[in-house]
Amino acid sequence: MQGIEKSKFHEKQPATESGHGRLGASCRRLDSRELFTAGNELLIDHHGASYRLQITRQGKLILTK
């Protein structure tokens, strides 16, 4: 499509050492083992809603509301 400028949303961001784009100066990195000391799932309360973060059998993370 000629004449249409690319939106900034679709521009690639420079990668960080983790390869996941820019991180803010106040971004804190945690190892998932620090979070999951008591099992394979935890609850996160955020703005009055609860979210469940769980580790699958394949070792992937799933966040559900």
Q: Is residue 3 part of a domain?
A: no
pLDDT band at 24 (very low <50, low <70, confident <90, very high): confident
Domain total for the chain?
A: 1
Give CA 64 to chain center in angstroms: 13
Q: Is residue 21 part of a domain?
A: no
Q: Which range of residues forms the domain containing residue 39? A: 31-65
pLDDT number for residue 10: 47
pLDDT number for residue 1: 43
Tell the burial category of 57 from Cβ atoms under 10 Å away from its Cβ (0-12, 13-18, 19+): exposed
- Residue 7 pLDDT more than 50? no
Q: What's 47's domain CATH number?
A: 2.10.70.10
12-16, 45-49, 56-60: which range is least confident on average? 12-16
pLDDT number for residue 18: 54
- The residue type of 3 is G
Q: Is residue 48 part of a domain?
A: yes
Q: Is residue 5 part of a domain?
A: no
